[in-house]
Structure 1
Amino acid sequence: MPTATINGVVVAEADEADVLHIEGNVYFPPASVNRDLLKDSPTPYTCPWKGECQYFFVKSGDEWLQDRAWTYPHPFPTAEQRVGKDIAGYVAFWKEVQVS
């Protein structure tokens, strides 16, 4: 079962059948993510084939680490065509967040 943790705290956990593997990242379904540990980041980014990205700060103890998670709230149709599934709202993690 893929799990995303930071300093031993579970940020997301889902069955392997429910996660998506895209470009070396594990994307967790929206319902599997602890949103209390995320807050919106103002960092802008648009992927050429996935669409506009929403980055998040991830809570680590008493601090918030900027841009350690992201999602595509309204992905381009090309994303679903390329992945074979609607990726809207799926969340991936980076750096200090360990995915195993």
Structure 2
Amino acid sequence: MKATINGRVVAEAPESEVVSIEGNWYFPPSSLTDSEFVASPTPYTCAWKGVAQYHTVAGQTDAGWSYTQPPADAVSRVGQDFTDYVAFDRRVVEVS
């Protein structure tokens, strides 16, 4: 799978390594184009996944987010560890 912004690839991984959570595809940290990501100060906490870290991606504010310390019950609910995996705002990032 591939995540792109305006034709720029910001993440790419085999589908077997990407995690689907609530309709979003979460890409593993190793698949990210590091130079395209900057931490954002936007606060958000999911009731069951915990505190989110938003990212400015390829200049697009808050185009991605991740969970740096998801609770153990969230990992159990998803069925695998998704720590630091990044999902993308589908209005800005094309995932295919």
Shared fold per TM-score greater than 0.5: yes
Q: Deviations over 1:31-66 (max 9, x none)?
A: 00112101010001111111110000111xxxx221
Provide the aligned length of Structure 1 versus Structure 2: 95
> Under a length normalisation based on structure 1, what TM-score does the superposition of the two structures give?
0.92
Q: Which runs of 4+ in 1 moved over 4 A?
A: none
- The CA distance in 2 between the partners of 1:35 and 1:70, in whole Å, is 14
Stretches of structure 1 lacking an aligned partner (at least 5 in a row): none
Q: Percent identity?
A: 53
Where does residue 94 of structure 2 map in the other structure?
A: 98
Unaligned runs of 5+ in 2: none
Instruction: Give the corresponding residue for 1:12.
Output: 11
Matches within 5 A, 1:1-100: 2-59=1-58, 64-94=59-89, 95-100=91-96
Q: Distance in 2 between matches of 1:98 and 1:8?
A: 9
Q: Cα RMSD between the aligned structures?
A: 0.7
